[in-house]
Amino acid sequence: MGTLSFIVVDDHPVFREGLVRLIGDRFEADVFEAGTMAELEQQLQQAASPDLLLLDVVFPGFEPLRDLPTLRHRLPMTAIITVSMVEDHSLIDAIMAEGVNGFITKSSPPEQMITAIEQVIEGDIVECRPALDLSSDNPQPNQLALLSPRQREVLEHICAGRSNKEIARELGVSPYTVRIHVSALLRTLGVRTRTSAATLATKSGIKAPS
Amino acid sequence: MGTLSFIVVDDHPVFREGLVRLIGDRFEADVFEAGTMAELEQQLQQAASPDLLLLDVVFPGFEPLRDLPTLRHRLPMTAIITVSMVEDHSLIDAIMAEGVNGFITKSSPPEQMITAIEQVIEGDIVECRPALDLSSDNPQPNQLALLSPRQREVLEHICAGRSNKEIARELGVSPYTVRIHVSALLRTLGVRTRTSAATLATKSGIKAPS
DNA sequence: GCCGCACTAGGGCGGATGTACTAGGTCATG
DNA sequence: CATGACCTAGTACATCCGCCCTAGTGCGGC
């Protein structure tokens, strides 16, 4: 194949340059860089349909579970590999479910990253999960992705420490209804208290409520 | 000055190599690398008293607030710069209070990192705080560092979602006592519910209870 | 159309939470 | 030695939480 077109997106310049250099050493490719959603948009003007998108899971202007579907839809011919230091298997599951071609942890050795990129370019789906499973205490798949939009909304308010009554006022519904959502999301997440749910959601990088 | 001796410690190989390359381009120095506490020990056999230690705040085998004092004591002549993607100002405060010579966020541009390293080598204390202050909703300084050991211990259990009664059983004290600790730490953290405290502590990267 | 699901609303109940108060012990610091 | 901090233990009280139950609406799929 000829010269490839890669875009590397990460908001940590040193890590990004490490990746770019790594790729430059091994692939015959034009490599573009972006550190924010705005810069990614710019690069997509240059390279409308890159061969590979190496994407940090979180960077300014980007929420994976919110923006990945759009991105996936916009770049149907592009191999998307998410790169993250997140070690929450449920979040990784949710990301893989969005149809990306691969997931690599930032703690992976360079050789493993190269191998993963090669495999993805050849059409494989690759998952490099973190070796040490810190989240072995939550065997459930998907977690936050399993919640309904309303439940996720309520969960965000729980993380902000609001009471059911406050959440009810905020959402313009009855406290009884909030209670239903809370009970449901607790059951879905497999925890017994709102505090557990808050910790779990915060670890998974839930966004703060408006 | 002659050839310097640097040790770069970070468990993300790509980021670490980015740093090493960055340093190699700008300084006349022997650069050693480590990705774990064990590897750091090995490198300290080679270079017993390096001129500069670039230290990721969290990596396998290392807890900053636990291990930084020891490290600082062992390497009195070494300039220590902590590098982290943590954006919690209270944690940064706590780290600076351990007597390190500098703090840099991983999202800093390379040029800023070089400048900071140069300044630290010349004897300055440097702090590159994250530009976008995500924790602007907690104006209090230090936060977790303000808590007593017992309060922090209780807070860890709160993050695990345990009830006061469970925490009491775990710590071998009365539930009434646990309640006192909870009330006190809530007041200190400036929040009204244990759930808020859990979110705050989790964002600050509190460790899980044993 | 009927089924399943999400969202809405409510009653009742046992237990958990958080605050205010008092009060005893240890330990370091001045 | 006195002061203050931290940890301990308890009572009383109001509130909140989370579960149980029923029940209505709307929406998309088989």
Please spell the DSSP secondary structure of A8-54, one letter per residue. EE-S-HHHHHHHHHHHHHH--EEEEEESSHHHHHHHHHHSSS-SEEE
**Residue pair A175/A164 in contact by the 8 Å Cβ criterion:** yes
Average confidence (pLDDT) over B170-194: 93
Work out if B196's Cβ lies within 7 angstroms of strand D: no
In this prediction, residue A209 carries a pLDDT of: 65
Domain spans in chain A, listed from the N-terminal domain onward: 4-128, 141-203
Strand partners, A129: none
pLDDT in tens, B71-86: 887 787 888 899 987 7
Cα distances (angstroms) measured from residue A150 to each of A166, A167, A203, B92, B184? 15, 12, 20, 35, 33
Average confidence (pLDDT) over B147-162: 91
Convert B98-121 to b/e letters by CB count within 10 Å (16 or more is b). eebbbbbbbbbebeebbbbbebbb
- Percent of chain A whose pLDDT exceeds 70: 82
Closest nt to residue A147, judged CA to C1'? C6
Closest nt to residue A161, judged CA to C1'? D16
How many CB atoms neighbour CB B79 within 10 A?
Answer: 24
Work out if B148's Cβ lies within 7 angstroms of strand C: no
pLDDT for B137 beyond 60: no
Burial level of A38, CB count in 10 A (0-12/13-18/19+)? exposed
Look up the pTM and report it.
Answer: 0.53
Contact A106 B14 (CB under 8 A): yes
Average confidence (pLDDT) over B95-104: 78
pLDDT for A15 beyond 60: yes
- Percent of chain B whose pLDDT exceeds 90: 35
Banded pLDDT at A16 (limits 50, 70, 90): very high
Q: In the CATH scheme, what is the code of domain B141-203? A: 1.10.10.10
Closest Cβ–Cβ partner in B14, B109, B195 for A19: B14
Average confidence (pLDDT) over B89-96: 72
In angstroms, the CA of A166 and the C1' of D7 are apart by 34
pLDDT for A173 beyond 80: yes
In angstroms, the CA of A82 and the C1' of D11 are apart by 56
pLDDT in tens, B41-81: 888 888 778 899 999 988 888 877 778 877 887 787 888 89
**Which residue in B11, B12, B14 has the most chain A C-beta atoms within 10 A of its own C-beta, making it the best mutation to test that interface?**
B14
Looking at every residue in chain B, the average pLDDT score rounds to 82
Higher pLDDT, B136 or A185: A185
Average confidence (pLDDT) over A6-13: 92
A57 touches chain B (CB under 8 A): no
Sorted by sequence, the CB contacts under 8 Å of residue A172 that are 6+ apart come out as none
B202 touches chain A (CB under 8 A): yes
In this prediction, residue A47 carries a pLDDT of: 78
H or E element at residue A173: none
Check residue B132 and report its DSSP letter: S
In this prediction, residue B177 carries a pLDDT of: 95
pLDDT for B204 beyond 50: yes
* B139 vs B149: CA distance, rounded Å: 22
- Percent of chain B whose pLDDT exceeds 70: 85
* A136 vs A139: CA distance, rounded Å: 6
Work out if B193's Cβ lies within 7 angstroms of strand D: yes
Min Cα separation B59/chain A (Å): 10
Contact B15 A15 (CB under 8 A): yes
Higher pLDDT, B205 or B18: B18
Banded pLDDT at A140 (limits 50, 70, 90): very low
SS3 sequence of B25-93: HHCCEEEEEECCHHHHHHHHHHCCCCCEEEEECCECCECHHHHHHHHHHHCCCCEEEEEECCCCHHHHH
Please identify among residues 4-33 of chain B the ones whose CB lies closer than 8 Å to any CB of chain A: 11-19, 21-22
In this prediction, residue B203 carries a pLDDT of: 77
Banded pLDDT at A115 (limits 50, 70, 90): confident
In angstroms, the CA of B51 and the C1' of D28 are apart by 67
In angstroms, the CA of A142 and the C1' of D17 are apart by 26
In this prediction, residue B134 carries a pLDDT of: 35
Please state the CATH superfamily assignment of the domain spanning residues B4-128 in this structure: Response regulator (3.40.50.2300)
Min Cα separation A137/chain B (Å): 11
In this prediction, residue A133 carries a pLDDT of: 36
**Residue pair A33/A43 in contact by the 8 Å Cβ criterion:** yes
Work out if A182's Cβ lies within 7 angstroms of strand D: yes
Banded pLDDT at A88 (limits 50, 70, 90): low
Contact A161 B85 (CB under 8 A): no
